């Protein structure tokens, strides 16, 4: 418990600091907003008092200025979100524009008429394209016989789900081969 409380001290102090800054900023913004309201009504009252304008004109101008101020303040609040959205959209389009090494519309491969389920990974070497310096598999060899139940066990990031992704051909191995019923899956279709 003491170790946990010590670990929480930093984030708590950061949150308090952020809360004070946010609260002060929010308070000041409301102060300025209501100060502008007060000044507008005071100036309008003085103009009406000296017969320079009518009450309806004062309220028209006041509401027009209020709507403009609210729109500008809300657009200012959206600026950080807009920049995050812009970078997110750019990364989504970068992913969509990537060319896959596997052409999903290519029908030139062979189709197995009957699948028994013999799976073999033979000296598979693999790195994710987005992390080319991190070797996930170095000469992975694994045989799974038809009808067997196999559990892949390991810590997070050890490659358990990567085995399935390679088998489903979401990725291609850098070297080595993966076979299904003795036929390399890169040569199969369907």
Q: How many CA atoms lie within 13 A of 113 on its CB side?
A: 0
Query: So what's the pLDDT on residue 101?
Result: 65
Query: So what's the pLDDT on residue 73?
Result: 73
How buried is residue 87: exposed, middle or buried, by Cβ count under 10 Å (0-12/13-18/19+)? exposed
Query: So what's the pLDDT on residue 42?
Result: 92
Single out the residue of 188, 185, 184 nearest to residue 107, CA to CA.
188
Those residues whose C-beta lies under 8 Å from the C-beta of residue 118, and which sit 6 or more positions away, are 143, 144, 145, 146, 179, 180, 181, 182
At the fourth CATH level, the homologous superfamily of domain 119-187 is: P-loop containing nucleotide triphosphate hydrolases (3.40.50.300)
Tens digit of pLDDT per residue, the chain (190 long)?
A: 888 888 888 889 999 998 898 899 889 988 988 888 888 889 999 999 999 999 999 889 888 888 887 787 777 666 777 778 888 898 899 888 877 666 666 676 677 778 888 999 999 999 988 888 888 889 889 999 988 888 989 888 888 899 999 888 888 888 999 988 888 887 655 4
Query: So what's the pLDDT on residue 72?
Result: 78
CA angle 177-183-185, nearest 5°? 55
Distance CA 7, CA 30 (A): 36
Please tell me what DSSP assigns to residue 98. Answer: P
Those residues whose C-beta lies under 8 Å from the C-beta of residue 75, and which sit 6 or more positions away, are none
pTM of the entire structure?
Answer: 0.47
Q: Where are the domains of the chain?
A: 2-96, 119-187
């Amino acid at each position: 418990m003491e170790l946990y409380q010590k670990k929480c001290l930093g984030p708590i102090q950061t949150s308090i600091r952020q809360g004070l800054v946010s609260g002060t900023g929010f308070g000041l913004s409301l102060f300025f907003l209501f100060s502008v309201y007060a000044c507008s009504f005071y100036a309008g009252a003085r103009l009406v008092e000296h017969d320079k304008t009518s009450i309806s004109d004062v309220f028209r101008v006041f509401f027009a200025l209020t709507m403009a101020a609210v729109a500008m303040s809300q657009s200012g609040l959206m600026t950080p979100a807009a920049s995050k959205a812009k970078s997110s959209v750019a990364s989504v389009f970068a992913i969509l524009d990537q060319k896959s090494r596997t052409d999903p519309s290519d029908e030139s491969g062979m189709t197995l008429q009957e699948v028994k389920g013999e799976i073999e990974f033979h000296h598979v070497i693999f790195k994710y394209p987005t992390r080319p310096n991190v070797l996930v598999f170095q000469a992975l060899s694994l045989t799974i016989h038809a009808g067997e139940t196999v559990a892949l066990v390991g810590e997070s990031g050890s490659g358990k789900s990567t085995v399935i992704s390679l088998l489903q051909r979401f990725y291609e191995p850098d070297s080595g081969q993966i076979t299904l019923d003795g036929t390399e899956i890169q040569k199969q279709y369907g």
